[in-house]
Structure 1
């Protein structure tokens, strides 16, 4: 489901943030988590995609996929 994908992206980002700041982990793992975070969308980007999708689907038969995802988080 679309909201599950969105939720997974959000939770994966949160997990990478936790890994990147955990000083109990080896530096190599924290560094890799930081590198991966550069490619994860931020909350602002996810919400921006939500707004864009809602705008693009207005007046069509298509339903936005992000709206329900944000409401369920």
Structure 2
């Protein structure tokens, strides 16, 4: 079930939201169209390679019985 649920993880990764203050703090923010400023910051904030690497790591599930 886990493998089926995570098979297309790379296609379902989403970029982080960008705060308005972060956009305003970009150098040349007034000269950049908003969509380019957002794309620039989300690319800087995202760790796509790290996320994909994490999903490739071995995984072990433990079942804990409650008494």
Report the TM-score when normalising by structure 2: 0.38
Higher helix fraction (1 or 2):
1
Report the TM-score when normalising by structure 1: 0.36
Q: If you compute each CA radius of gyration, which structure gives the higher value, 1 or 2?
A: 2
